[in-house]
Amino acid sequence: MMATVAAGGPDAAARRREPRAHATRRTSFYANLRPQLYRLIESETVDPVRNPYAPGAGQRPPELAGRDRELQQFEVVLERVARDRPERSMIITGLRGVGKTVLLNAFRSMAIQRLWGTGKIEARPDQSIRRPVASALHMAVRELAPRHRAPDRIEGFLGVLKAFAQAGEEPSGGRAKARAHRWQPGIDVPASRGRADSGDLEIDLTELFVDAASVATDVGAGIALFVDEMQDIPADDVSALCAACHELSQTGGPLIVVGAGLPHLPAVLSASKSYSERLFRYARIDRLDRDSADVALLAPAEREEVTFTKDALDALYGAADGYPYFVQAYAKVVWDVAPDTPITVDDIKVAAPEAESELAVGFFGSRYERATPAERDYMRAMAMLGEEGDAPVATSSVADELGRKPSSLSPARDGLIKKGLIYSAERGLVAFTVPHFGKFLRAQPA
């Protein structure tokens, strides 16, 4: 069911700039050692070169398991928009590593297959969405342009788009000019005036969306704007985005905003606009159930004529707990160590320590390193309170655990929320966004 997904592009470039890059370098260092190990393994049936598994942020899995319901829901969304039915858009939420980005990319492929124009942004804290949205819609409309009969309509839209992008600039001054210069959209037409350029994002987005939707209507298609890490959109911008979607849902233009984010995203949106609950259809994605986790492991293996014993599948489910990232991470290492098919429970035992240490560096450690010392203390206290499982803990208990006043811990808590390491879906409660993070922290020396 998994269709071609547009390659990482701007997302991948953005990730390379992040501090996480350190972990990636370390991982690729070990990856470089692997070819030498291959020679020692001398396995022909379970060939490391053909290892199908794909642990990594946004990495397309060899089998998109257990997401049929969400894919069907999105199919309905696309179909309804195509038939001009009023449609609520979709928002995927879930913990880190459950496959939100991958699912968003799969949705994008579905839209592309229907010849829709698509664009994607990855929101960042403290960054206005104006420019990223402009670039994404530019890409979406460029996809539609070759099918449009009236080039001047496209040019008209591009003029509005350019004005929209530039309207975020400070009105005067060298810095603003310099920045205006830096935006290199490759739009040759001059910026138009009087539409989507007021400087008020809510008004401008609404006008831009309406115009983009009308270009899509001309070619009998739609436009889908995908927003990853949606919880990171600054508060004012989120409210503008909701308002623009609301406006659009009333006029019925074929443009939808499809989002993905952490579990508290619905709370962020409804705090911004109370009507957001009616605006979006929320789909929470979670760990894979046993059958889906088995499919995620077996389907790619069987394409390479490799299989797993039942005991091996039991052990893998025990270790990965159904979390897609962990499923991929364990399977990848297990494949590399397994001498032959079927892969057995003993292979899992041999592979587990390496898989765990790779996760400790690449999945947990890289995130832990982003926290300040005070934030680390806060997370350790959460971990101590949490014991098994990832149930939310009370912020007041965290304060007790640290022997501090709750108010003095607000900066640490807010910092962690901003870094996407914890979330607060309910007042007074916090939880880790990273599955098994409590367990990881409890295993660390103090």
Ligand X SMILES: Nc1ncnc2c1ncn2[C@@H]1O[C@H](COP(=O)(O)OP(=O)(O)OP(=O)(O)O)[C@@H](O)[C@H]1O
Residues paired with 222 in a beta bridge: none
Question: For the chain, how many residues are written?
Answer: 446
Separation between Cα atoms, residue 12 and residue 27, nearest integer Å:
16
The one-letter amino acid at 295: V
Partner in contact with 55, chosen from Mg ion, ligand X, none, beta carbon below 5 to 8 Å by kind: ligand X
| Contacts for 80 with CB less than 8 Å, ≥ 6 apart | 86, 87
In this complex, which beta carbon is closest to ligand X, that of residue 122 or of residue 143?
122
Asked if 187 contacts 162 with a C-beta cutoff of 8 angstroms, the reply is yes
Partner in contact with 94, chosen from Mg ion, ligand X, none, beta carbon below 5 to 8 Å by kind: ligand X
Residue nearest to ligand X according to CB distances in the complex? 99
Number of residues in contact with Mg ion, rule: CB under 5 A?
Answer: 2
Compute the Cα dihedral for 414, 419, 421, 422 and give only its sign.
positive
Q: How far is the CB of 324 from ligand X (least distance, A)?
A: 3
Q: How far is the CB of 417 from ligand X (least distance, A)?
A: 14
Radius of gyration of the CA atoms of the chain, in A: 24
In this complex, which beta carbon is closest to ligand X, that of residue 159 or of residue 392?
392
Strands 280-284 and 117-122: unpaired
In this complex, which beta carbon is closest to ligand X, that of residue 100 or of residue 108?
100
Please give the residue ranges that form the binding site for ligand X (CB under 6 A). 54-59, 61, 64-67, 94, 96-102, 296, 324-325, 327-328
Separation between Cα atoms, residue 57 and residue 97, nearest integer Å:
7
Site string for Mg ion, 85-114 (x = CB under 5 A): ---------------xx-------------
Q: How far is the CB of 359 from ligand X (least distance, A)?
A: 11
Which residue from 361, 355, 364 is spatially nearest to 421, judged by alpha carbons? 364
Compute the Cα dihedral for 104, 59, 123, 289 and give only its sign.
positive
Asked if 98 contacts 267 with a C-beta cutoff of 8 angstroms, the reply is no
Separation between Cα atoms, residue 383 and residue 394, nearest integer Å:
12
Q: How far is the CB of 100 from Mg ion (least distance, A)?
A: 5
In this complex, which beta carbon is closest to ligand X, that of residue 11 or of residue 197?
11
The one-letter amino acid at 102: V
In this complex, which beta carbon is closest to Mg ion, that of residue 100 or of residue 332?
100
Residue nearest to Mg ion according to CB distances in the complex? 101
In this complex, which beta carbon is closest to ligand X, that of residue 66 or of residue 253?
66
The one-letter amino acid at 143: E
Partner in contact with 213, chosen from Mg ion, ligand X, none, beta carbon below 5 to 8 Å by kind: none
In this complex, which beta carbon is closest to Mg ion, that of residue 120 or of residue 332?
120
In this complex, which beta carbon is closest to ligand X, that of residue 230 or of residue 348?
230
| Contacts for 18 with CB less than 8 Å, ≥ 6 apart | none
In this complex, which beta carbon is closest to Mg ion, that of residue 100 or of residue 130?
100
Which regions of 108-240 does DSSP assign to beta strands (E)?
A: 117-122, 223-228
Q: How far is the CB of 23 from ligand X (least distance, A)?
A: 13
Separation between Cα atoms, residue 226 and residue 50, nearest integer Å:
32
Q: How far is the CB of 11 from Mg ion (least distance, A)?
A: 9
Q: How far is the CB of 261 from Mg ion (least distance, A)?
A: 9
Partner in contact with 67, chosen from Mg ion, ligand X, none, beta carbon below 5 to 8 Å by kind: ligand X
Separation between Cα atoms, residue 89 and residue 279, nearest integer Å:
7
Q: How many CA atoms lie within 13 A of 416 on its CB side?
A: 24
Q: How far is the CB of 83 from ligand X (least distance, A)?
A: 29
Look at residue 91 and give its three-state secondary structure: strand
Q: How far is the CB of 245 from ligand X (least distance, A)?
A: 22
Asked if 316 contacts 331 with a C-beta cutoff of 8 angstroms, the reply is yes
Binding site for Mg ion (CB under 5 A): 100-101
